[in-house]
Amino acid sequence: MMSRLASPRCGGLLALVAVIAALPLVLSNNYFYEVAILVGLNAIVCVGLNLLIGYAGQISLGHAGFFGLGAYGSAILSARFDWPPLAALAVATIAVALLAYVIGRPILRLRGHYLAMATLGMGVIVSIVAATEDRWTGGPDGMPVPPFKLFGGTLSGEGAWYCVVGSLLVVAVWLTLNLIESPTGRALRALSGSEVAAEVSGIDSARHKVLVFVISAVFASVAGSLFAHYSGFITPSKLTFLHSIELVTMVVFGGMASTYGAVVGAAVLTTLPQLLTVFKDYEMVALGAIMMGTMIFMPKGLVPSIGGLVGTAAGAARARKAVR
């Protein structure tokens, strides 16, 4: 029973639910709720991205593009064509999934730096198109997005959004954990260990890589659509290269191949700019220093490093006990 609680699936998920449920006790005003909601949305994207980067061993420097496609898809369909937001979200998600499938195959044949650059290129192209086609997207100044109407009622107010985003995060984490424990997940881990060896033992690496790519794109797209409705306004700045880098940094900072690491990474790096405002002019310097510092001194990421420290301490304690 205790070992089941300690496992990532049961124990971890329960802990996550507990944190999400208890957090409102410390959130004293709408500003804190907003930050929490943004953390949640980023966490959903990062959990999916972590599947791609951490478990499948690929890279994507263009994931803000999928986020933005979901956001603009929902925005354009619901604002310019008066579609119900839920339908817009569904259609946008399906469209993004198809797009990810179509470009996934050629792009994922590339490896390492070439893959990084290809995804970067795709992301930049999407952001330039969004900024240029102002008839649809409102251009660089962006466009307003109608609120999320659902079955006759409107989803409004930070409390309601917090519940929605929180629940979706739990669902996303649960789905991811299940995927990792499934045969597909094991195939992915074999892939990231050695692609050649995996293929030799019969795993269709291309199919699995594309599958993970599509899943991570879908997570990003859904988060993007929700963000558009929550924010009430969307601009191309959420699709830029810089935002893609922020997402990758969250995943790597939190810990690659650690789903909860992705959540922690998203939490820390989303709240960090809010804390760094104290530094005003030094904010960029601080951000760059943190990115570099984390990668140099804690390359495995926050959660695995802390887990490692705890593990070393526990091991040392056990060793001392054994010696006596």
Q: Using CB under 8 A, which residues numbered 165 to 204 contact other proteins? A: 196
- Rounded-to-integer distance, Cα 185 and Cα 55, Å: 8
144 in contact with other proteins (CB under 8 A): yes
In our burial notation (b when 16+ CB lie closer than 10 A, e otherwise), range 39-48 reads: bbbbbbbbbb
Q: Closest approach of Cβ 151 to other proteins, in Å?
A: 23
3 in contact with other proteins (CB under 8 A): no
Q: Are 94 and 229 in contact (CB under 8 A)?
A: no
Chosen residue from 46, 64, 122, 262 binding other proteins by CB under 8 A: 122
* Residue given tokens 């420290």 in the structure block: 309
155 in contact with other proteins (CB under 8 A): no
Q: What is the DSSP string of 172-199?
A: HHHHHHHHHHSHHHHHHHHHHH-HHHHH
160 in contact with other proteins (CB under 8 A): no
Chosen residue from 9, 101, 276, 307 binding other proteins by CB under 8 A: 276
For other proteins, the closer of residues 292 and 316 by Cβ is 292
299 in contact with other proteins (CB under 8 A): yes
315 in contact with other proteins (CB under 8 A): no
For residue 221, give the 3-state DSSP assignment.
helix
292 in contact with other proteins (CB under 8 A): yes
89 in contact with other proteins (CB under 8 A): no
Q: Closest approach of Cβ 265 to other proteins, in Å?
A: 12
Q: Are 209 and 49 in contact (CB under 8 A)?
A: no
Chosen residue from 10, 90, 241, 307 binding other proteins by CB under 8 A: 241
- Rounded-to-integer distance, Cα 300 and Cα 162, Å: 30
For other proteins, the closer of residues 129 and 190 by Cβ is 129
113 in contact with other proteins (CB under 8 A): yes
Chosen residue from 24, 84, 121, 307 binding other proteins by CB under 8 A: 121
Q: Are 187 and 208 in contact (CB under 8 A)?
A: yes
**With contacts defined by CB under 8 A, how many residues of the chain interact with other proteins?**
75
Tokens read off for 81: 């064509």
For other proteins, the closer of residues 81 and 297 by Cβ is 297
For residue 111, give the 3-state DSSP assignment.
coil
Chosen residue from 16, 45, 99, 124 binding other proteins by CB under 8 A: 124
Q: Are 282 and 273 in contact (CB under 8 A)?
A: no
Q: Closest approach of Cβ 1 to other proteins, in Å?
A: 35
CA atoms within 13 A on the CB side of 135: 0
Looking at residue 10, what DSSP letter applies?
I
For other proteins, the closer of residues 12 and 137 by Cβ is 137
Closest CA to 163 of 37, 34, 307, 11: 37
Site for other proteins in 28-47 (CB under 8 A): 29-32, 34-35, 38
Chosen residue from 42, 93, 231, 258 binding other proteins by CB under 8 A: 231
